[in-house]
C-alpha cells in the first residue's frame, strides 16, 4: 500500500487524529507485508506510536471543545 501524493492532494482536509490513524494503518500494513522479523517489529512499534498520537490528538480536540462550550 502506497500513499500517492496525487491522492493526498485531492483528499479532503481531515483532523490530525484521522491523519495519525491513517499513518498507523499504513504502518500496520507494512508490518504484515514485511518478511524480516526485525522490520516487522519496527513497523508494529511505529503503528502503536501513531495510534497513541491519534488518541492524544482526539482527546485534545474533545478537551478544547469542552472548554469552548463552558
pTM: 0.69
What are the extents of the domains in the chain? 15-69
Which stretch of 13-22, 28-37, 43-52, 56-65 has the lowest confidence by average pLDDT? 56-65
For residues 25 and 17, the answer to whether their CB atoms sit within 8 Å is no
For residues 47 and 31, the answer to whether their CB atoms sit within 8 Å is yes
Mean pLDDT of the region 45-54: 95
Per-residue model confidence as pLDDT tens digits over 2-42: 555 555 455 444 578 889 999 999 999 999 999 999 999 99
Residue 16 has what pLDDT?
84
- What does the alpha-carbon distance between residue 24 and residue 47 come to, in Å, rounded to a whole number? 4
- What does the alpha-carbon distance between residue 22 and residue 7 come to, in Å, rounded to a whole number? 13
Q: 65 falls in which pLDDT band (50, 70, 90)?
A: low
Amino acid at each position: 500500500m502506497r500513499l500517492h501524493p496525487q491522492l493526498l492532494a485531492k483528499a479532503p482536509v481531515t483532523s490530525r487524529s484521522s491523519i495519525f490513524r491513517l499513518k498507523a494503518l499504513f504502518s500496520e500494513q507494512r508490518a504484515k507485508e514485511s518478511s524480516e522479523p526485525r522490520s516487522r517489529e519496527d513497523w508494529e512499534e511505529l503503528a502503536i506510536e501513531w495510534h497513541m498520537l491519534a488518541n492524544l490528538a482526539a482527546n485534545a480536540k474533545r478537551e478544547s471543545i469542552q472548554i469552548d462550550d463552558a
